[in-house]
Amino acid sequence: MTRNMWICLAVALAVLAVDQGTKAWVLEGLRLQEGQSYRLSSIFAVTLVRNYSMSFGLIGTGPVARGFLLIFPVVVVGILIGWARRSTSTLLSVAIGFVIGGAVGNAIDRFRFGWVVDFLDFSRLGFPWVGNPADWAIGIGVVLLAWHFIRTPERGGEAGEA
């Protein structure tokens, strides 16, 4: 395995550990019921939400949507692993690792519970959606991917150490 593939794997595993560990804390440690909140500061609360859809409610919750939400992450992760194996860019490998870790974290929830455990509540800051570390990791990964492609457009985004 290449150095950049190891980096990708390390980032993905770190994201997965944080995601699944914090979700276990919310479900088993705090023992919150759906919709119940535990305020940690004036701007942040832990609020348990069972997310049967996907980010921002972009897809429904019926059987077709559920099947899609179980299969789609597996396909995306497979494509990203192939891409990471060919990567010669550390930034690209880190970005892909964030996305893979987040996708796998949410997929584990869907397979275990039939829904994703959301709990990061910043509604006091005007952010209306409750999320989880996997969601944030996917967002960070997408931003890093965009940064990578903006910095290295001459080779389709693939360059040496970016």
More confident residue, 34 or 66: 34
pLDDT on residue 59:
59
Is 52 part of a structural domain of the chain?
no
Question: Dihedral of CA 152/156/161/162: which sign?
Answer: positive
CA-nearest of 124, 130, 75 to 103 is 75
What would the mean pLDDT of 92-115 be, rounded to a whole number? 96
Is 41 part of a structural domain of the chain?
no
Domain enclosing residue 16, as ranges: 3-31+62-114+133-155
Is 160 part of a structural domain of the chain?
no
Is 47 part of a structural domain of the chain?
no
Window from 67-71, 125-129, 153-157 with minimum mean pLDDT = 153-157
Is 55 part of a structural domain of the chain?
no
What would the mean pLDDT of 71-97 be, rounded to a whole number? 93
What would the mean pLDDT of 92-97 be, rounded to a whole number? 98
Arithmetic mean of pLDDT over the chain: 89
135 is catalytic: yes
Number of domains present in the structure of the chain: 1
Is 48 part of a structural domain of the chain?
no
Is 39 part of a structural domain of the chain?
no
Instruction: Say if residue 93's pLDDT is above 60.
Output: yes
**Dist. CA 20–CA 7, nearest whole Å:** 20
- Whether the Cβ atoms of residue 95 and residue 12 lie closer than 8 Å to each other: no
pLDDT tens sequence across 107-154? 999 999 989 999 999 999 998 889 999 999 999 999 999 999 999 866
Instruction: Say if residue 162's pLDDT is above 50.
Output: no
Is 56 part of a structural domain of the chain?
no
Catalytic residue of the set 19, 109, 121, 135: 135
What would the mean pLDDT of 23-37 be, rounded to a whole number? 94
pLDDT on residue 152:
84
What would the mean pLDDT of 41-50 be, rounded to a whole number? 95
Q: What count of other Cβ atoms lies within 10 Å of the Cβ of residue 93? A: 27
